[in-house]
Structure 1
Amino acid sequence: MAKSAEIPIIDFASGRPEKEIAKELCEAAITYGFIYIRSGALDVGAVDRAFDISKHLFSTTDVEEKKRCSIQKNNRGWTGIRSETLDPKTQKAGDFKEAFNFGEFVDGKAQQPVPNSIADREGEISDIFDKFRALAVRILYLLGVGLEVNPPDFFSSTHLKENGSSGTTLRFLHYPSVDSAEETTDAIRAGAHTDYGSVTLLFRLKGQAGLQILTPSSTWAPVPVCPPTTESDPSPPVLVNIGDMLSYWTNGLLKSTTHRVAVPTGDGDAAASDVLEGEGFKGGRYSIALFCHPAGKTRLEPVPSEVVQRAGEKAGTVEATGTGEGKVLTADEHLATRLKASYIDLYKK
């Protein structure tokens, strides 16, 4: 039986001192790059509605209607099975999943084609998008407090609508049931990768395992949907992870941790050793992610923080830019680079 990843659980219950929560968040982000958040962090009803819409979208929309809404270079729309390759250097085939990406909404309206099957719920999706983003902005503010950034809202303010459009994306994900040997060739549903943005909020369903993170010892550790002490919560805790942009901003102090989605069949295949008791799952899998990005023109250079500065000096790091060539990228430039590597066929057109 696999040993689960060591990820801290942080309580967002009302009444807790802001600086106490901020300190715990930063310690987890520095050490692990992943964090569980529980206790009133988000309206459970919004999460339930999101999964209801997602299941309806993938189960009732025919392929031609999905193709009408195919993903474009702005990262919005539907992407089919094997069309995205998150680990192009090692994957033999694209990811065994489909997804639908929603970009930012304007006055409750999507700025992209929406499938007819969920068109009547467009305003509801916009509301869910806003609720999820509000939590992400709160987390970013608390990280600023914990890192003693000057001003403390440095991170969070760049993610507000009024400061410009961004690549923030609400993604509905569906991993179909794996039924054939061909589909389990490498036992991977989503290739190893780091997330492109600043922070990601991940919502999962009980019993639907598969997420794994790469540990410092270069082994894969499963990430339980309901870690110990949360099993009886109304819904699984929100899983938060640090993305590339926040790592660049902090000179690598906050960890953008590599992760993947495996096929936890538990029947002797390559992923069997990574199955947690009670979380093996052979059927279809649904998850929802909010990939939070700052305004597109934001430069990814180290933030004004003595904590970050001291950590950089100790590590001998002068500047983290994401290019290795001394150039400071903007948020949009970094996102474009990562998308081009993941959607090979799209960018060939």
Structure 2
Amino acid sequence: MKIPVVDFSPWYNTQDDSSRRRVARELVEACQKVGFVYIVNHSLSELLLDKTFDWMRCLFDLSDEEKMRAPHPEGWAVHRGYSWPGLEKVSQVMSTGDDEEIRMKLREVPDVKEIYDIGSEQNTDQPNQWIPDETLPGFRDFMVQFYSECHKLGNEILRALAVGLNLQDELYLTEKHSGYNNQLRLLHYLPVPAEELEQERTARCPAHTDWSSMTMLFQDDCGGLEVEDISRPGTFVPATPLKNAIVMNIGDLLQMWSNDRLRSTNHRVGLPQLSDRFQGSNRMTRERFSIPYFMGPDPDSIIECIPSCMSEENPAKYPPTTQAEYNKMRASMMY
């Protein structure tokens, strides 16, 4: 399996409808066959992305005491601020109500990463937890602007997917994604002895699907992201870093919306694939930085089958739900 590459630049040519539709078809085809796609020639500049990674490194270079001035709130309901290594455990397990034993079992193999989560400044249900300005001057202003730029690009991708799915209304999906419920995540995978990962005593990010509509990922040159081959379940292939490309993948909600036409594919972060992935005689892995931006519909949005994705021969496979209901089932197992 190879992850397709789609040149997004023709989508911005509003005078050439055939080119826009070709981009839309290529996106949908990639999301049907793989669930992942590299998007190149998008609207985010190389300079902006480089600055974002610089800011992220400055953040994670702070002392533990300074980072803990914006801690992730206790519990799962508010998904903001700084999460120290071991706090979060990514899994594919959903809440069933009596989960304490399951949570303890999952955490026998901790995830070795630290995280900083940012949302919309207008989202009072999920208030941001900011590092004080005197600790990291300019960080908040920059990240608020970057959040907005990612939302604009995400909406263009959602519009293209709507066209590729033959929806009459190109804005069908974007109207459900106001930006209120998106999430910008800064991720730092700490150096760890390779043997710890190989023997599964620790993990970076275990196999899972995303519980958003879609994800746009920016990654450094370290490598380690792997995508499950749909034709060979249990087999994972590298999503090798491609400079300035977005790795876009479908989340659970768009798979439900599209009646399984678009695929929310398992993926994980493991050992880097590159030749310089280890450092020193004790085979310490390189640190890795990545930035996923999750496009989430507004909490009360109804997730139900898109009309063009069902028929008498192919009825809706999922009962209607809301983003808030699905989010609770997934998020409550993570913290």
Question: Could you tell me the TM-score, scaled by structure 2's length?
Answer: 0.83
Partner Cα separation in structure 2 for residue 169 and residue 254 of structure 1: 21
Q: Determine which of 189, 213, 222 is the counterpart of 1:198.
A: 213
Deviation for aligned residue 1:54: 0.7
Is 1:333 aligned to residue 334 of structure 2?
A: no
AA matched with 2:302 = R
Matched, 1:83 2:91: no
Look up the match of 1:58: 60
| Native 8 Å contact 1:249 1:303 kept in 2 | yes
**Partner residue in 1 for 2:97:** none
Task: Give the C-alpha shift of residue 337 in structure 1.
Answer: 1.5
Give the paired residue count: 301
Aligned positions of 1:20-169 closer than 5 A: 20-60=22-62, 62-72=63-73, 73-87=77-91, 91=106, 92-106=108-122, 111-116=127-132, 117-161=135-179, 165-166=180-181, 168-169=182-183
Shift of 1:236: 3.2
> Per the alignment, in what secondary structure is the counterpart of residue 245 of structure 1?
helix
Q: Which runs of 5+ in 2 are unaligned?
A: 94-104, 279-284
Match of 1:346 in 2: none
Task: Kindly report which structure 2 residues correspond to 1:307-346, keeping only aligned pairs within 5 A, or say none.
Answer: 308-310=309-311, 316-321=314-319, 328-343=320-335
Q: Provide the residue aligned with 2:3 in structure 1.
A: 7
Helix, strand or coil for the counterpart of 2:138?
Answer: helix
SS in structure 1 at match of 2:317: coil
> Take 2:205 and 2:189, find their aligned partners in 1: how far apart are those partners?
9
Is residue 86–residue 94 contact of structure 1 (8 Å, CA) maintained in 2? no
Q: Structure 1: where are the runs of 5+ without partners? A: 227-234, 265-274, 322-327, 344-349
Q: Distance in 2 between matches of 1:139 and 1:242?
A: 11
1:19-66: per-residue Cα shift (whole Å, max 9, x none)? 110010110111111010002442222211211111000012x22333
Amino acid of the structure 2 residue aligned with 1:26: V
Corresponding residue of 2:20: 18
User: Displacement, 1:120?
Assistant: 2.7
Letter in 1 for 2:321: L
Counterpart Cα distance in 2 of 1:258 and 1:203: 18
How far, CA to CA, are the matches of 2:255 and 2:276 in structure 1? 31
Give the letter aligned to residue 66 of structure 2. E
Q: Give the 3-state SS of the residue equivalent to 1:289 in structure 2.
A: strand
Displacement of 1:182 in angstroms is: 4.2
Structure 1's 303 and 318: CA in aligned 2 closer, same or farther, altered over 3 A?
A: closer
How much identity, in percent, do the aligned residues show?
29
Distance, in Å, in 2 between the alignment partners of 1:146 and 1:339 is 30
TM-score normalised by the chain length of structure 1: 0.80
Deviation at 1:221, TM superposition (A): 1.1
CA RMSD of aligned residues (A): 2.3
